[in-house]
Each structure stands twice: as C-alpha cells, then as structure tokens.
Structure 1
Amino acid sequence: MKTTLEKYKHQLIVLGNGFDLAQGLRTGYADYFKDKYGDNPSMELMDNAWDMVLFDRKLHNHSEWANVEQAIREQVTGYESIARVRNGLDNPNVLDTSNLLGSYIARRMASMIDEIHTVGFLQSSINHKDTVYLSFMRRELTLFEHSLYTYLKKIVGQSENDDPWQYTVSSDDLYESIAGMPAISGKSVLEKQHNTILTFNYTSPFQRRDEGYFPGLDSVRFIHGSLAQGDIIIGIDALNQGVQGQRELINNEDVIPFTKTFRTLQSTSNYDTFSDVFDSEPPDCIKFFGHSLSEADYSYFQSIFDHVDLYGGVTALMFLYRPDGRYDGSDLYLKVTKLINKYGDTLDNKDHGKNLLHKLILENRLSIKRVY
C-alpha cells in the first residue's frame, strides 16, 4: 500500500487570490477600490464605467459587491441592468436620481460617442442601442483592467520595497504547506515531486524557484496573464445558465467579447494555455487553494476534470484553506459539493453524474483540509 506522499508525486496546484490574501497582500477588488477612491467615493469622479458599476453594487449593499466577474455578467446579460442604461440614454443630460448608475454611464457614453447626441440614435431600435452600449462597456473594461494592473503593480512593489525577500519567502512557505499536504513534508521530500501551478492570479512570486525556493515546482501557468507580462484579463465564463437550468455557450455576438475565452484569444500577449499542464499521465492529485470556485471559472474546471477522467480515473481532489480573521473555510463544503455536482451534470452517463460525489468520497479521492 503506497503512502500518501508516494501517491502524490505529480500534483497540479490551482491557486486563486486567496493565496496572496493569506500573506497579507491587499490584492482584492475591494482593496483596489478603497485605495483608488478612499472612504467617500463619488460616482461622478470615477474614471471608468466598471468602477461605477461596483460602486452602485456597494451603495445597494450587495453582499458580493466586489465580485467583478459577477458584476460584469449581470451588467452585460441582465435585462434590468441594460434597461437602466437604455433609459439613461433617452436623455443623457438629465441626472435621474432613481437611476443613478444608468444616468452616469449614459453621461459618460455621451461624452465619448457623438452618435448618442443624434436624433437618429434616440429613434433607433433597442438592439442598436444595446450594441452601442455593450461596445462601450467593452472598451471601458480595458480601462478598468489597466487601472487594476497599476494598483497591483504598486502593491507588489511596496511589499518588495519593505522587504525584497518577504513575498518570496512567505509564498514559498505557503507553497510547501500546500504541496506537502496532508502530511508535513520537508524539502527533501518535496524535491522528489513534479508539481505544476495553475494560477488565476496576476502576481508571480515564483521567479526564484531556481534559487532553492519552491521545491518540486516544475512550471507555473498563468490563466489570465500576469503583471510580468504587462497585460491582464478580466471576463466572464463562456458558459451561461440556460432557461431550463442547463449550461450553454453564450451566443450573443455583443456579449462574447466579454468572455475570458474570447479575451485570451484576442490578446497579443503570450498567454500560457493549460493544454501542456499535464504530462502524458494525469496528476496524482489536484489541489485547490484560495480559489472561490465560482461559476466564472467553471469552464476551466470542466476541462481539467475531463482531462483526468474524474469519474473513471484515479486523480484525487484536495481543497485546502488557511483560516484567518476574515475566513474560516466553512463555506468550502457547500462550494465543493456544488462544483462536483455541476460537473456531474455534464457526464454522458447521468447515473455516473448523480453519484460522482459519493464515488469520490468512497474512493478517498475527495477531501477538504486545513493548511497550517
């Protein structure tokens, strides 16, 4: 019987923003927003429409007001969200206090798009107005990405100025804890592993892995770009929830440019795909840390699970967390259950899909553990 450490020699480690947050790096969207606008933000002074959208969610006490990907999806696919802007465009010179977001976005559009001031635009079809709006919001998304990129560069730079090695050392410690789970392993054990990091973050503390840090780490793949590449991507999943509950590809030509798949394809940067993340054999274990497991990245998880043949294969899944003053990991049980069940719905054999979660637990291939 192989020990756990012997079984987990080849690992895929999936990282989300929680990896940086666990080290005290203020890389959350809420941190960005507060740094840029302070404690008393004003929609009138915001320099892109997506900051306005976030602020409107905050004003309405949205429980996930800083969830940018959710905000984008609702703003470009939700009928009510689009209608609010359309109403603002009927008279962009008037500030409607009952429709502040729609009015302010319409004002910004009117200051940048001459067509909006024409009688022809006011009399044009709803479809045309929506197309103009979505095209505008796509350009605004580039401004938002640049603003976030600038903030993250500053935060990482401040951290390195305070202590040039602290971010590397703390990242190495956390990596070793993740890679060594479920046991506490020394460098000599980790060096025998072959690990790949698949990161949804834009930060990269892994450059010094050739200097004795991050033992066993063979490669790092960035899903949506990195600060080092000078280009980052923000977008929504290409899959949408259908009327009958099924997931289907977004086919609205005006919304497709907001999807991560389209953005990655369109980008001129050298983005790493994860087709080469796996060697000829699937990893022994896939470990998740600091990721929200949100639907915005569901397509990536589906591709990974398909590749390792999650139902018929032997790859284990381990979801890890490190509790702090803001997070205790208790929500992971529900999130993991939903993720596995959603993936099970995609299997051709529906009976397999229904009992996938149960099968993984019985085979000791699914666990949720705390990282110390």
Structure 2
Amino acid sequence: MPKILITGNGFDLSLGLPTSYSDFINILNSLDNNLDIDFDSIYSKSSNYDLISKNYKVFSFDDKKLEVLKIEIKNNLWFQFFHNELEIETWIDFENKIDYVLKNLFSSVKYIKDNIFSKGSLSEDKLDYKSTLFNNDIEILQVLKSFNIITLNKYYDVTLNRNYLVKKYDFFIDVDLNKITQKLIEELKKFKKIFNLYFETFVYPFYNNQKTKTNESFFLTINKHYTFNYTPTFEKVYKRVNKTRFLHGKIDSDSNDIVLGINEIPTNELDKRFFLPFTKYYQKLNINTDFEFISDFEKTKNSNFQFFFFGHSLDNSDKDYINEVFDFVKDLKSKIKTIIVIYHNEESKSKLLINLLSIRGKHDIESLMRNKNLKFLNFDSKELNIELKKDITLPLTIR
C-alpha cells in the first residue's frame, strides 16, 4: 500500500540545483553587473557551485528570457526591496519578511489615517512632515519609501505620495488603502513572474545536462509524491511520471500560478480583506492547487502507510501540513504506519527534531519514536534503503 514521499527545497539542493533563496538573489543581482553572461559567471554565485561543476554539463541560456528578467527585476518593487535585505538566508526568512513588510506598511497607513486625516483634510502644500511622524523609526521609513508610499530627502523629511491619497474638492481627505493594496498585489504577481523565469532560465536546463547518472531506482517504490517545491525534479531526475502533486503550484511563467506569501493574517484593527490576497491559503484556493493533501487517503485508513520527508525543514510555516500527516498516522488502524524523516548530517537531524518538538510537543514525538512510528534515517544509510524497499502490502510478521 501507499509509500508517500514529501519533499521540500532541500530535495532539489541535494542534487546541486541552485534553488536556495541566496542562489535566487545572488544570480539575479549578477545580471546587472555582468556583461558576459555564461555558465561559470552565473553559477559561481551559487552556494552549490562545486556540486554543479561536478554533476552537470555546461550549457547556454535563453537570451530572450535573460532580457525579460533584466527589465523585470529593475522595475519590480518587491525585488528591489529584497535584493538589499542581506539578513534573509532561506525561503522561510523570505516569507517572514513579506509578513514584516505588510505589517509595517498597513500599520503605518493606519497611523497616518489616525494621526493626520482624523484631524481634517490636507491641501497640496501640506504633505511634508519631519521623520518624527513615525518616531524616527528608520526601518518603517525605508519600507514606506521602498514601496513609494512616501519619499524621503537626505534629512529624512517625509512627503506623502499623493498618488495614494483620496482627493475631493482639491483637498486630500484620506489614505487610499485599496489602491496601495492593489499595487502591492500587482507587484507581487510580477515578482512571481521573475521567480518563474528564474527557474525556467537557471534551473530547468540542468535536467537535460546531467554528467552523472542518478540512481533512478532509489525511489522506485514511492506511490505518491507531494512537493512544496515548484519544480518537476522528482519526475525529471528519478523518472517517476504522474506521481507528483504540487502543493504550491508549478513553475510556468505563462500561467504564473504559484503560491508565494504569508501564512496568517496579522492581528490588528485593519480590515482583514486587505491581507487575504497575500496569504498562502487564499492563493491556493484561488489557483486551485492540490490543497486536499493527505485527505486523499481517508478511505484507506486500514492500509499500511509509510511517509518519507526528504529535504523539508518541518518548520512551523508548514505546520498545517505536518499536523495533517501526523494526525493521519496516529488514526491509522494498520500494523505498519511510519513517518521517516531523511537527513544528511547530525546538525540537520537536530534542527528537524527541534522543529517537530515545537509543532507536536514532547509527549507526541516521544510516543511516536518509542513505538517506532517515527524514525530519523540518514540518506546514505542501509536502514533507509531497507525501508524504501520494504514491501508494506504484506502483513507484518509477528515473531
């Protein structure tokens, strides 16, 4: 019965593919500074360069897509904000930063409404303020400037952008929050196009340019594959056709239907409708990705199941999915019901365990490990090979 593989970005990274956040930013940043764009000049920016050089042949890029990318990254507000944010290291950090930007933008807009327009309307010549308007908070000022809500001079004096104000009878009477939201959504859609084009240009060519042969039989027994990635790596590398469901959409710059956003709506006094388009669950429902997940197997709860997590951080950002798997396994009536977390080294194992303890709690994880329903296995171990090859259609022999 079902052997189910669940993968995250670490799955692609283990094969040398440049899919990390740092790869994305560093490679795209290099486009502006690089007159001669070739294989080495681009991938030398990748943290996986040694693995890339070892495992893949040199190839050239699609010039048309390169030109589109150059234009898009130069004009996109989200990209221009993120490419200077040096403290972002992972895609989880990136999503958290989107959340940070939205909170700052919307709370600042509310602050303007409450502290300026509650006192009356403004004329054309009354849009300038000292930075004390936002208590000299440099981070808030830079976020507002990055998204053109305000302009700043060299003394950090603030000027409200009249394009985002409601005008009536030659006076400004309010902040146009709807217009700001629509602009942010429009820019996020364009950012998704950049994201799609990056993968089509700098990741997809690797599938047809492998130097070394991957062991295609490694995941031969997997019946279903769910991925949080946007790439068809499992199908392309392990030749497992029609097994994958893309939980957050699939790379395609023509349709641009991928999930990229925040997990939850922040708690504040603003209308929640302004935040909804940025949430993953809204985007999933809107573009109709495979949001059913493990509920696909609800009718087969008497069957044996094995779940393999590979290259997934098991971070709190995906706790709904993780809880769905763990709750499903706990409710199974079968003899074989295991969750196997695949790791590469002891440091990664430690992080994965900490994340699971944070989501599920000490009692649940201890109980599952004690009963051997939860196992941590090294990618190179014999034990993992045994589990992958195990025939779980047969009843467990009791000795």
Show CA shifts across 1:108-156 (max 9, x none).
99xxx9742555696426xx54x54333222221111111000101123
8 Å CA contact 2:181, 2:274 repeated in 1: yes
Q: Relative to structure 2, which stretch is displaced further, 139-148 or 304-313? A: 304-313
Distance 1:93 1:146 in 2: 36
Distance 1:263 1:13 in 2: 24
Instruction: For 2:203, give the aligned amino acid.
Output: V
8 Å CA contact 2:263, 2:281 repeated in 1: yes
Show CA shifts across 1:273-312 (max 9, x none).
4242666136522111111222222222222333333698
CA 1:310/1:333 → structure 2, altered by over 3 Å: closer, same or farther?
farther
Mapped pair 1:235 → 2:285: no
Match of 2:390 in 1: none
CA 1:361/1:64 → structure 2, altered by over 3 Å: closer, same or farther?
same
Match of 1:12 in 2: 4
8 Å CA contact 1:10, 1:195 repeated in 2: yes
Instruction: For 1:224, give the aligned amino acid.
Output: H
CA 1:137/1:311 → structure 2, altered by over 3 Å: closer, same or farther?
farther
8 Å CA contact 1:92, 1:107 repeated in 2: no
Instruction: For 1:343, give the aligned amino acid.
Output: R
Show CA shifts across 1:299-326 (max 9, x none).
222223333336987622211123xxxx
Partner residue of 1:21 out of 5, 13, 18 = 13
Give how far 1:359 is off: 0.6
CA 1:86/1:152 → structure 2, altered by over 3 Å: closer, same or farther?
farther
Match of 2:25 in 1: 33
Structure 1 unaligned regions, length at least 5: 1-8, 180-189, 244-249, 323-327, 345-353
Matches within 5 A, 1:92-103: 98=138, 99-103=141-145
Match of 1:320 in 2: 342
Q: Identity over aligned residues, as a percent?
A: 21
Give how far 1:71 is off: 1.5
Mapped pair 1:361 → 2:369: yes
CA 1:356/1:97 → structure 2, altered by over 3 Å: closer, same or farther?
closer
CA 1:251/1:331 → structure 2, altered by over 3 Å: closer, same or farther?
farther
Match of 2:228 in 1: 200
Mapped pair 1:306 → 2:327: yes
Q: Normalising by structure 2, what TM-score?
A: 0.63
CA 1:278/1:31 → structure 2, altered by over 3 Å: closer, same or farther?
farther
Instruction: For 2:355, give the aligned amino acid.
Output: K
Give how far 1:94 is off: 11
Distance 2:323 2:370 in 1: 21
Match of 2:276 in 1: 256
CA 1:315/1:251 → structure 2, altered by over 3 Å: closer, same or farther?
farther
CA 1:208/1:40 → structure 2, altered by over 3 Å: closer, same or farther?
closer
Distance 1:283 1:238 in 2: 34
Structure 2 unaligned regions, length at least 5: 34-72, 117-126, 152-160, 381-399
Distance 1:69 1:84 in 2: 20
Distance 1:63 1:16 in 2: 16
Give how far 1:13 is off: 0.8
Instruction: For 2:192, give the aligned amino acid.
Output: E
Give how far 1:356 is off: 0.9
8 Å CA contact 1:317, 1:365 repeated in 2: yes
Q: Normalising by structure 1, what TM-score?
A: 0.67
Match of 2:313 in 1: 292
Number of matched pairs: 308
Match of 2:65 in 1: none
